[in-house]
Amino acid sequence: MAQIGIVGGGNLGANTAFFLGERSVADVLIYDNREGLSTGKALDLMEAAPVRRYRVDVRGTDNPNDLKGCQVVIIAAGEVRKPGEQRSDLFARNKAVALQYAELLAGSKAVVIMASEPGDALTALFTQNSGLPPERVIGVGTGLDRTRLRYLISEETGLLSEDINAVVIGSHDEHMLPLRRYTRVAGVPVDMLVGLERWEELVAQLRAAGDRIIDLSQRSSSFYGPADALAELAEAVVRDQRRILPVSTLLNGHYGLKDTAVSLPAIIGAGGVIKMLTPELDDQEKALLQAGAQGVASTLAS
């Protein structure tokens, strides 16, 4: 069976392992630099297996080299945002994490999924320093924003969230770009269900969603939503599902952008990104996409 490695046994890493176990996607290996933590978390998860009926094995390790044999490695380590912080504020503190595992996984055949913040900048940094091809280094990016928008539309319309297909591209920050005309509810254009003024209000809520969770909890950033987005992405890779999901990758000429990373829709399967998709954008949308990409580039340059 395939194996998915998770770097970081905190809230995000442990819940990602939980969701992967619930879906029986693949065996899971958790690594954390705090001795015994990953083994303890894995044991806790597996003791629920008789009830939850996991059909996979979850175990921990104190040896990071064990990650080299994994088909997918999710990097969910590092510091999280505190109230009042921007994602870019974490770059100086978390870039060492990206560089450490870029060196460890250089030359591996794994698909690497970046979940540490700021995800776009760290995805680009990892790609540039690991030597892995861009299609095998993907950030969860606006995958979380897509899920949050589906929830907001469901709350607004009273319709089943499973029927909602939202499209959000760009940087995972205030420059994220929800695409109204590509968003559907069971095939019905969202503009038939949500007026433009209310749509703009929902987009404002979407852009503030992460900050709101931090401000309310005061203790940690969100992790249930991100963990589910990570599990969804890892499952698409391991099972070669060829799903269209927004992922952050190092760009090479898309919309004229290079040497920066933002999310675009992509066909995801075995090996990571099979094909990047470039939705038609108007001038205003292109400007917002470029502003987000330039912000990521500025973070990298810092």
Q: What is the pLDDT of residues 5-16, one digit of tens each?
A: 999 999 999 999
The answer to whether residue 88 scores a pLDDT higher than 90 is no
Instruction: Please give the average per-residue pLDDT across 152-166, as a whole number.
Output: 97
- Assess whether 155 and 284 both reside in one domain: yes
The answer to whether residue 282 scores a pLDDT higher than 70 is yes
* Per-residue pLDDT at 2: 87
The answer to whether residue 272 scores a pLDDT higher than 80 is yes
Half-sphere exposure of 57 (CA within 13 A, CB side): 7
Instruction: Please give the average per-residue pLDDT across 44-57, as a whole number.
Output: 92
Instruction: Please give the average per-residue pLDDT across 132-143, as a whole number.
Output: 96
> Which stretch of DSSP H or E encloses residue 56?
none
* Per-residue pLDDT at 209: 85
- Assess whether 134 and 156 both reside in one domain: no
- Assess whether 223 and 127 both reside in one domain: no
Report the CATH number at residue 109.
3.40.50.720
Q: What is the pLDDT of residues 194-222, one digit of tens each?
A: 999 999 999 999 998 877 877 777 666 78
- Assess whether 90 and 147 both reside in one domain: no
* Per-residue pLDDT at 65: 96
Instruction: Please give the average per-residue pLDDT across 270-277, as a whole number.
Output: 97
CB 185 within 8 A of CB 163: yes
* Per-residue pLDDT at 86: 73
* Per-residue pLDDT at 302: 79
Mean pLDDT of the chain: 94
* Per-residue pLDDT at 218: 66
Domain boundary pick from 70, 105, 139? 139
- Assess whether 94 and 236 both reside in one domain: no
The answer to whether residue 188 scores a pLDDT higher than 90 is yes
- Assess whether 288 and 152 both reside in one domain: yes
The answer to whether residue 82 scores a pLDDT higher than 90 is no
- Assess whether 212 and 250 both reside in one domain: yes
Range of the domain at 82: 3-139
- Assess whether 148 and 297 both reside in one domain: yes
| DSSP assignment letter at 170 | B
Question: Exposed, middle or buried by CB within 10 Å (0-12, 13-18, 19+), for 267?
Answer: middle
Could you confirm whether 172 is annotated as catalytic? yes
248: phi > 0 → left, psi -120 to 50 → alpha, else beta; which?
A: beta
The answer to whether residue 81 scores a pLDDT higher than 80 is no
Domain boundary pick from 79, 107, 139? 139
Alpha helices, DSSP H, located in 25-68: 37-46, 49-52
How many domains is the chain partitioned into structurally?
2
Instruction: Please give the average per-residue pLDDT across 105-116, as a whole number.
Output: 96
Domain boundary pick from 86, 118, 139? 139
* Per-residue pLDDT at 142: 95
Report the CATH number at residue 163.
3.90.110.10
Percent of the chain with pLDDT over 90: 86
Per DSSP, the three-state class of 26 is: coil
Confidence of residue 179 (pLDDT cuts 50, 70, 90): very high
* Per-residue pLDDT at 297: 94
- Assess whether 168 and 278 both reside in one domain: yes
* Per-residue pLDDT at 219: 60
Confidence of residue 238 (pLDDT cuts 50, 70, 90): very high
Instruction: Please give the average per-residue pLDDT across 272-282, as a whole number.
Output: 96
Instruction: Please give the average per-residue pLDDT across 136-155, as a whole number.
Output: 96
CA dist list (Å): 141 to 85, 177, 290, 293: 18, 12, 15, 12
* Per-residue pLDDT at 85: 72
| Active-site residue, from 59, 81, 146, 172 | 172
Rounded to whole angstroms, the Cα distance separating 167 from 29 reads 31
- Assess whether 147 and 289 both reside in one domain: yes
Instruction: Please give the average per-residue pLDDT across 260-283, as a whole number.
Output: 97
Q: What is the pLDDT of residues 63-78, one digit of tens each?
A: 999 999 999 999 999 9
* The two three-digit tokens of residue 280, written as one number: 């038609």
The residue among 239, 302, 296 whose CA lies nearest residue 26 is: 239
